[in-house]
Amino acid sequence: MLDVAVSRAELSAAIAAAGGASYRLSPLGVACTYPVFKGEADGMPPVFVKVGTEDEWRRTANLLRDVGACGLFPRLLSDSRIDYHGLAVFVMEWKESSVVFPEDMNERQADSLADACVRLSEALRSARDFAPVAGSPLAPEALYGDLALYVRRHTVAGRLLKELVSVPEELRTFGPRPLATVHGDFHAKNFGFAGDEFACVFDFDKLTQGLACGDLANALVERFSCLGLSSSARRRLGAVARRIVARTPWPREDFAVSCNIARLQFAARRIRKHPGSAWVALDVLRRDRKIREFLSVL
């Protein structure tokens, strides 16, 4: 991680030297591998600035060029790579928006999210240079393999996860279904609203392949896995989720597969962080129970 307090002036100078403005950079409170900023300059519209690897910049540049016309993504304002100590600097259009969690959405926001997910899937058809699922640690087979390995190593704790390891193969693999390019990390903190309208999608580092409904399924499952929601919030979340799913054109069977793969992803993410802990199974179980409640009414 770069030292944000020290790097801002130097980073701003690197952007200005590449033909941009001399921005005042304000750190954003988002947990990212590298710092992210809002950049402001007198008489100029604000920008979003992120530091990343060469490969991330190339992929993002290609993506935004391919799908820019759809209006869901910020524009990349610098066509050439800006160097910062061997890393690449992203300077993107600032999209003013607010985070709205699904359980807090009104009907217009829910409908706008559903419509945006369909537009996002259509736009990503033209995206190139994405990481394929095969061989990826996020591939369904890899997720299930990590879970099964954990259960074998921790036989007692593993009994708590019997519902997860018992998911039928036809619900945890893509099978013969056609795959599409998907965002790969689509959740409420990676997209924003302007009032009642869906405004923008953020963070494109995990572009991959999945079912067309996979991004929406991931966003809903992520919220249902949260333990801090009240009973009334969960009821609202369930109602919003059903409304959103009903508005999309994708088969319910595809949603069932994508939701179960998202279940495995959330479980594997925690297990990968604590592979030697028997206690992590309890946390996974508690979250998975909430997800199963959602699946039962979807």
Query: How distant, in Å, are the alpha carbons of 143, 166, 191, 267 from that of 148?
Result: 9, 10, 33, 11
Per-residue confidence in pLDDT tens, the chain, 298 aa: 444 444 788 999 999 998 888 999 998 865 566 788 999 999 999 999 988 888 888 888 888 888 877 888 888 888 788 988 888 998 999 999 999 999 999 999 999 999 999 999 999 987 776 766 666 888 899 999 999 999 999 999 989 999 999 999 999 999 999 999 999 899 999 999 999 999 999 888 788 889 999 999 999 999 999 999 999 999 999 999 999 999 999 999 999 999 999 999 999 999 999 989 989 999 999 999 999 988 887 7
* 128: containing domain: 102-297
Q: Return contacts of 137-140, CB within 8 angstroms, 24+ apart.
A: 138/184, 138/206, 138/208, 138/265, 140/172, 140/173, 140/174, 140/261, 140/264
Q: Which of 229, 228, 254 is nearest to 240 (CA)?
A: 229
- CA-to-CA distance for 274 and 271, rounded, in angstroms? 5
Strand pairing report for 191-194 and 197-201: antiparallel
> What's the domain count of the chain?
2
Identify whether residues 142 and 177 lie together within a single domain.
Answer: yes
CATH of the domain at 191: 3.90.1200.10
- CA-to-CA distance for 131 and 133, rounded, in angstroms? 7
| Domain's final residue, options 93, 121, 142 | 93
Q: What is the pTM of this model?
A: 0.89
Identify whether residues 121 and 196 lie together within a single domain.
Answer: yes
Any idea of the CA torsion for 287, 251, 68, 115, to the nearest 10 degrees?
-80
